[in-house]
Structures are given as structure tokens and as C-alpha cells.
Amino acid sequence: MDKTLAAEPPLAAPTGADPLHGTAYPVIAAISFSHLLNDMMQSVLLAIYPMLKLGLNLSFAQIGLITLAYQLTASLLQPLIGLYTDRRPQPYSLPLGMGFTLVGLLALSQAGSFAAVLMAAMLIGMGSSVFHPESSRVARMAAGSQPGLAQSLFQIGGNLGTAIGPLLAALIIVPRGQASAAWFSLFALLGLCVLSLVGRWSSRHGASFKKRMKAQVNNGLSRRQIGWSLAILGLLMFSKFFYMTSLSSYYTFYLMDRFALELPQAQTYLFAFLFAVAAGTVAGGPIGDRIGRKQVIWVSILGVAPFTLLLPHVNLFWTGVLSVFIGMILASAFSAILVYAQELVPGKVGAISGLFFGFAFGMGGIGAALLGQLADATSITTVYQVCAFLPLLGLFTAFLPTLRRGG
């Protein structure tokens, strides 16, 4: 029987659809859902930090080192994996990445020492290093003429997963203990099934996408201009993710220390912040498609500064309100920055995605380690007083060129 006549898989694009110009919404939905599962499972590590700190008698510096181990494992490998998959696409690497996360969760559920938690964190980081570059490339492949929208929908899955993870951890792991983290591995099995279908779709359309991306019109910039632009984007990413880490890693400790909240209450505030991050992500990409990504970057980085400067000086109610605004505004930046960078270097979608996702994880890891040491040496409140000035680096957006296509 001629295999070429076999029926298309459920995620196949409609007959005659152009992978570059026709938006494949079922594929974007599948990759976004997988991103939700992936980041939900990974956020469990962050959510149970207070439990690990008490149970294993860890310091803030050790908590920071756990985050560093997780995020550096991801960040160092992602650009290399993205560069490799640009040259030799590996669509079925997506289930492999989910497998690393599954093993990491099982190891975390049984970890009885600081070293064991570090090893589990590194396995979870390896899952991210494989998943993010290839899944972002698939999202761009399925985007058609709406890359900002596709990246936002892809990112919303991850942000929702990051928001849901701590809430599920509070409901499942906190009352039942660390070993119950193993139940989250069931979500990894679901992700393996979905990503196998995504890999099948990607293998059918990958060659055509690669050819069309290489044929895109040049953006008119010199190599030097591209290099400086990427450096500025890196600085803006540093500002965004260093500050975001201060909230994702230490917000619960801040609320418990300053306002004497119990852990479940503090995790509810963390959920509200992370949900706001998810909501902000929805807006950034589509708005960038319409008005230009540079304008979105301006507002999302520099525009958040008044709120970060106020945060360390207000009461509990306004702390919750300001953290929601901060999460929503800052989150709108990433999709715009990523697509802007992809348009700076056409044909290197995987490498650019891996570089920027890796840089994001790396900055988060370094930030967590340094901020943990700062909290140990001074106070958790000092962390937010220092980080409040980071969004002012958004002024460097003025030096970014306006691209011909949506930039």
C-alpha cells in the first residue's frame, strides 16, 4: 500500500494550506496546551520551595542555587539545541523533552537531601532545554502571517501552566507531602501523547517552512546593526527576567515576612501575579502584529517602572494590586521581543528561540542566586527595593531600529 495516500493526522493543516501564510490554529493550540503542561509541572519546583526549605533546613542561598541549577541547565543547552534543529529539524525531540521533565518530577518527589533536589532540578531543566526551542519553532511554523499572535498563544500556555502549578501544589502537595509531587508525572504522560502528534505534523511541513524562511526579504540592516540590536534586546530581557524572578522565587517569602501571611494565603497572591502574567502575554503578540513590536517593548519594559518603584512601600492590598499590574505589563514584552529578534535573523528561528529562552532561564537562575544571597545578607524587603529600578533599562529601547515587517 502506498504510504503517501495515508490519512493526515488530526493536527494536519487543511489541504493546500501554506505553512508560512496560513495559520494552523489546531497546531498552535496543541503546542500551547503542551506548554501549559510543561510549565505547570516545572512550576511545582518553585511552588514547594517553602516546604523544601523547612523540611531540608535550607538557606535562602541554597534555594537560589536550586533555581540556578534548574535554569542554567536549561539556558546553556537551549541555544545549541535550537541551532542544531534549524539545520537538522528533530520534530520528535518534543516528547523526549517531556520525558526528562517526567523523570525530574519523580526524582523530586523522593529527594531527601539538597544534592538530590539539585539533581531533580537539573533534570527538569533539561526538559525545558529540549522543549522550548523546538516548540517555539513549531509555533512560528504554524503562525502563517501572524507570528506575534502565535507566540502569544504559545506563551499563554506556559504562563497559565506556571500560574496553575503553585495552586495545584498548594492543594495537592502541601497537605500530602513532598512525595505527592509524583502525581504530576501523569500530566507528563498526557504531554507525551500530544507532542507525538505535533511532531508528526512538524515532520510533514518542516522542509517547506525552512525553505520559505530562508527566502524571506532581508530586513535591510547590517550585521553590526543586527548585533547591537540583539545586545539591546538581551539587556531588556535581563531587566524583565531579573525582576520577574524576584517575584516568582521570593514573593511568597516577602508576603509571609512583611505581612505575616500563612503559606496558602501567600501562594494565592503568587497565583494572582502569575495569572496576570498569563493575561498580559495574550495582548503583547497580537498588538505587536498591528502597531509594531518596538512600541510594545517600550510600554511593557519602561511602563512598568512606576509600579515597581511603589511596590516596596505600600500595604498588603496595594501590594496585591501592583503585583498584578506588574505581571500583566511586563509579560507583554516577551512575545514582542522574541518575534522582533526572529525578524532580525530570518531563517534562524530555532537558534534565536533557543538563545532567548535560554537567556531568560539563565537570567532567572543568576537572579535567583544573587537575590537569595542579598536576602540572607539584608532582608527580603531589600530585594524589592533594589529590583524596583531595573525597568528603567527600558530606555535603551530608543536605540532599536524599526523593522520593515512588523518591528
Which domain CATH number covers 331? 1.20.1250.20
Helices (H), 260-315: 263-291, 293-302, 305-310
pLDDT digits over 220-246, tens only? 778 888 889 998 998 888 888 888 888
Instruction: Confirm whether 7 is domain-assigned.
Output: no
Instruction: Confirm whether 15 is domain-assigned.
Output: no
pLDDT of 33 higher than 90 = yes
CB-based burial, 110-149: b 16+ in 10 Å, e otherwise? ebeebeebbbbbbbbbbbbbbbbbbbbbbbbbbbbebbbb
Centre a 10 Å sphere on the Cβ of residue 223 and count the other Cβ atoms it contains: 7
pLDDT of 264 higher than 80 = yes
Residue 289's pLDDT is what?
A: 73
Residue 18's pLDDT is what?
A: 44
Instruction: Confirm whether 359 is domain-assigned.
Output: yes
- Residue from 255, 85, 271 nearest 171 by CA: 271
Phi then psi for residue 283, to 5 deg, are -80, -35
Q: Can you read off the three cell numbers belonging to residue 81? A: 539545541
Residue 5's pLDDT is what?
A: 37
Instruction: Confirm whether 12 is domain-assigned.
Output: no
pLDDT of 185 higher than 90 = no
Centre a 10 Å sphere on the Cβ of residue 359 and count the other Cβ atoms it contains: 18
pLDDT digits over 64-92, tens only? 888 778 877 877 777 777 777 777 777 78
Whole-angstrom Cα distance, residue 147 to residue 4? 30
Instruction: Confirm whether 407 is domain-assigned.
Output: no
Q: How confident is the model at residue 208 (pLDDT cuts 50, 70, 90)?
A: low
Residue 46's pLDDT is what?
A: 75
Considering only residues 374 and 64, tell me which one the structure prediction assigns the higher pLDDT: 374
Tally the domains of the chain: 1
Q: How confident is the model at residue 2 (pLDDT cuts 50, 70, 90)?
A: very low
Instruction: Confirm whether 13 is domain-assigned.
Output: no
Q: How far is CA 67 from CA 41, 157, 374, in A?
A: 15, 21, 15
Residue with cell 553590526: 224
Instruction: Confirm whether 5 is domain-assigned.
Output: no
pLDDT digits over 331-371, tens only? 888 888 888 887 888 767 777 877 777 777 677 767 877 88
pLDDT of 12 higher than 70 = no
Whole-angstrom Cα distance, residue 252 to residue 267? 6
Query: In which domain, by residue range, is 43 found?
Result: 22-399
Instruction: Confirm whether 211 is domain-assigned.
Output: yes
